[in-house]
Amino acid sequence: MRNKAKLIRFLAERKMLDEPALSGELESHVYADLPAWKDFLRLLLLSLGLGFLACGILFFLAYNWADMPKAAKILLATAGVVVPVLLSLSSRFTPLVSNGLMTTGAFMVGGLFAVLGQIYQTGADAYDLFLAWWVFTLLWAIVVDFDWLWLLSLVLLNTTIGLYAEQVAFNWSSGTVWLILLLVNLSAFLGFSYFGEKARKKTYSRTFLLILALGASIMAVNGFLMELFEPEESWVGSLLLLLVPVLLAASAYLAFRRKELAYLAITAISLITISTAAIFNAVEDTEGFFLASAWVLGTTVFSSFQLNKLRKDWYHDEQ
């Protein structure tokens, strides 16, 4: 789909397609049609159904914890893992449903570990739970190679790193934590968007890649602001202050070259966030609040107009 869209834009830019032909090609290969909306709704409803099912099991355990025997707690938590995994192996389900069931089983692994830890009072730190959860489900993500299972694995890894820094690595500075999180999320984005597609011959969903890019930008902006306003005398802080502007400039340049509006929007949001925080830090009290509000409003409107203008130029959209 994306390759067809790029080809259509290439032909339109060189005046090799007239207006009727261009409109027909855009309707056929670029704009979402009824089957595309049906696929979207199918994925949305499947995700909501499996998510509510997993949360329902966990809430049922939590609400009836005092009235349930140990064996029932363990059995119910185990069933939440085993049943979805066994169902995912059935040939009666589509690959999408099977992958969703496998993701549900991986999510319920955390509930099983929490139940075991609560019953037997292992005394482990919270990061031990998330570390074990991530390790045990990482193999599932590698074998299944499903976008949202990879996303769950990445969330668990980020949580593990954050809790480890809070509960064990007391000598780590905040800049060190943000730098590690930035490198993890940036590596994940680059790995899945570039190297992963070439190595595994698979194209990951655009939504998944955008979430990874947004996660990396959040880590970058938080780390940059932390070191900018609460600097620490270390090479880590200097590296963050140097690395983040380079990454934002590189992302804007690549997004502009590749005509990716979503990545340009993420870069714009990051820059607006940093500049707004700088205003709050420079001007305190009520004046800073009103000045920052006006700045956010003005830059948001300006960015929206510019992005919309680029959308019309790049996609030949007159709407």
User: What would the pLDDT profile of 13-51 be if each residue is shown by its tens digit?
Assistant: 555 555 555 555 555 555 556 676 777 777 778 778 877
Q: State the pLDDT at residue 122.
A: 67
Global pTM value: 0.81
| The pLDDT of residue 267 is above 80 | yes
Give exposure, 147-159, as e/b (b: 16+ Cβ within 10 Å). bbbbbbbbebbbb
Residues 88-116, mean pLDDT to the nearest whole number? 86
Q: State the pLDDT at residue 56.
A: 82
Helices (H), 64-124: 70-88, 95-120
Which residues, including other chains, have CB under 8 Å from residue 266's CB and lie 6 or more apart?
210, 213, 214, 217, 251
- Who has greater pLDDT, 23 or 82? 82
- Who has greater pLDDT, 283 or 82? 82
Which residues, including other chains, have CB under 8 Å from residue 239's CB and lie 6 or more apart?
179
pLDDT band at 230 (very low <50, low <70, confident <90, very high): confident
pLDDT band at 74 (very low <50, low <70, confident <90, very high): confident
Give exposure, 307-316, as e/b (b: 16+ Cβ within 10 Å). eeeeeeeebb
pLDDT band at 88 (very low <50, low <70, confident <90, very high): confident
The answer to whether residues 144 and 102 touch, using CB atoms and an 8 Å cutoff, is: yes
Give the closest residue to 182 by CA, choosing from 130, 223, 152.
Answer: 223
| The pLDDT of residue 6 is above 70 | no
pLDDT band at 316 (very low <50, low <70, confident <90, very high): low
Q: State the pLDDT at residue 269.
A: 94
205 DSSP assignment: P
From CA 72, how far away is CA 191, in angstroms rounded? 42
Q: State the pLDDT at residue 34.
A: 67
Look-up of token digits 């509960």: 167
Q: State the pLDDT at residue 76.
A: 86
Q: State the pLDDT at residue 54.
A: 81
| The pLDDT of residue 155 is above 90 | yes
pLDDT tens digits for range 243-265: 999 999 999 998 888 888 899 99
What crossing angle do the helices spanning 206-229 and 174-190 adopt, rounded to 10°? 160
Amino acid at 163: L
Secondary structure of residue 154 in the 3-state scheme: helix
Q: Which two tokens stand for residue 55?
A: 């949360």
Q: State the pLDDT at residue 41.
A: 79
The answer to whether residues 310 and 16 touch, using CB atoms and an 8 Å cutoff, is: no
Q: State the pLDDT at residue 213.
A: 93
pLDDT tens digits for range 111-144: 888 888 888 776 667 788 899 999 988 989 988 8
- Who has greater pLDDT, 31 or 307? 307
Q: Average model confidence (pLDDT) for the chain?
A: 82
Q: State the pLDDT at residue 126.
A: 79
Q: State the pLDDT at residue 124.
A: 67
pLDDT band at 281 (very low <50, low <70, confident <90, very high): confident
